[in-house]
Structure 1
């Protein structure tokens, strides 16, 4: 829930990088800054054997939301659909809702600014829903997620199956959705002026669980994108 102030861009590029490719990178950054109405205020450029890009967004908040300030009985919600980017990375067709989500994610800035007055806690989903749930989990509390509330479409399941992929693994463990994951009381949910999807609830089970569509309950594995593991 922060008001954007500016963006810092640091780049390391090969000395033989084609100038047109460099212009495309900078053009994309400037286009994003214009979209979010924030200035590119600085950064750094160095030489490297491959392209390395690191960005830092600066913002200010008078009421920041913490990750673990939820209460038992709070509802768990997300701002949009998850798993789209995960499937998009696997598709060759670039003109689908899945590939568009993977290639052009949108930061939920407006929603975050509103949520700070309603939610009890919040974070963003970068490394997968499961990973984020374990990141915000505190002792004595658990989470129950309901598969039917995730609204996974038949088309999604069919595409995943055609690629020999587990659709629940894509939805829970891959990430790159950049949607907001938050907890909120039932009373505040009724007042919340933000489109969202309730997917579960905070419990005192001390376990992160998933109720499948068939009614069976299983523990969600603590697995997500791992930044420091090489293939």
Structure 2
């Protein structure tokens, strides 16, 4: 089989750095991949985009920075998918459906065309997976990869952070600790197949979008937040916004993560409370509707795991047998790093 001149030219182009290819090449790559959207009067390639027909508009944004958000071993495609997943997780917590994505790219001049195509392919793939389309954005040169994503969509009955009431059941949509253990494995170069699910949780996270949307439609959650900053930070935030406290009676620690943490002498509380980037939902449900909510999520292939309850006193407390521990930290915070 011979090489076609056109195919050879494409390979050579993709091996060149963006500093050589120029912004025009990047823009052509992006514009060629975007779909025309009939709901837009000012379409793809215009200076701005007008949205029509949306009665209740929901907007959220998130930013991924290579040096702080990209672990060792993550591919460019996975970087693109994670950038979209992060903002979609915020939509999931509100029970909102993303429709349009705006993507702001900061790209180093040394980046290869092939690497850019993989990054952009991940962004497009994740956008489609979550039911939206990329309709605009901007590009600029940067010292490292920076991906900012703004999502616009709709919500019929959005779930606030401030709706929890004393007596509500505190619940989560999955187990925690996988990303904490997975990050340790990634940075220590541990590629034992046994720990692969932990690495997958880091490299290929998924937002609980369908679960959040269905909970909102059914009016089953009184408050909700996504766990990207860690479980402890979520509990503090829900407590402050709702004016309630929480008693945590069960720590939702993943068994494989627990095994990894114990084998490597790590801190179990750090793993379950402060790992971050699990992209699970942390929510409150009226006790009278807990079974209904559990059945709804079970139908979506997801477990609703009760872990505690909301109380009047504005404290966040872990109770285990006769021991108690008040949580005062705030989980992950940019510019401050991990809590101490």
How far apart are the structure 2 equivalents of 1:140 and 1:51?
39
8 Å CA contact retained: 2:181, 2:271: yes
Please give the per-residue CA displacement for 1:118-137, whole angstroms capped at 9, x wherever unaligned. Answer: 11111111111111111121
Residue 289 of structure 2, aligned match among 166, 169, 188: 188
Asked if 1:121 is matched to 2:121, the reply is no
Match of 1:203 in 2: 311
Please give the per-residue CA displacement for 1:21-71, whole angstroms capped at 9, x wherever unaligned. Answer: 111101111111222221111111001121111112222112111102111
Structure 1 spans left out of the alignment, 5+ residues:
none
Residue 103 of structure 1, aligned match among 203, 207, 214: 203
Q: How far apart are 1:230 and its partner, in Å?
A: 6.4
Match of 2:139 in 1: 45
Describe how 1:58-73 pairs up with structure 2 within 5 A: 58-73=152-167
The alignment's TM-score, normalised by the length of structure 2, stands at: 0.63
Structure whose residues are more often helix by fraction: 2
SS of 1:55's partner is: strand
Match of 1:22 in 2: 116
Any runs of at least 4 consecutive aligned residues in structure 1 with deviations exceeding 3 A, and if so which? none
Residue 146 of structure 1, aligned match among 249, 256, 262: 249
How many residue pairs match? The answer is 228
Higher alpha-carbon deviation: 88-97 or 100-109:
88-97
Asked if 1:161 is matched to 2:259, the reply is no
Q: Which has the higher contact order (CA 8 A, sep 6+)?
A: 1
Residue 325 of structure 2, aligned match among 213, 218, 221: 218
Please give the per-residue CA displacement for 1:137-174, whole angstroms capped at 9, x wherever unaligned. Answer: 13752101123x52542x43331133331011111012
The alpha-carbon distance between structure 1 residues 186 and 230, as it changes in their structure 2 partners (threshold 3 A), is: closer
Structure whose residues are more often strand by fraction: 1
Structure 2 spans left out of the alignment, 5+ residues:
1-94, 298-302
From the CA coordinates, give the structure whose radius of gyration is larger: 2
Aligned-pair RMSD on alpha carbons? 1.9
Q: How far apart are 1:94 and its partner, in Å?
A: 7.7
How far apart are the structure 1 equivalents of 2:243 and 2:160?
18
How far apart are the structure 2 equivalents of 1:161 and 1:180?
26
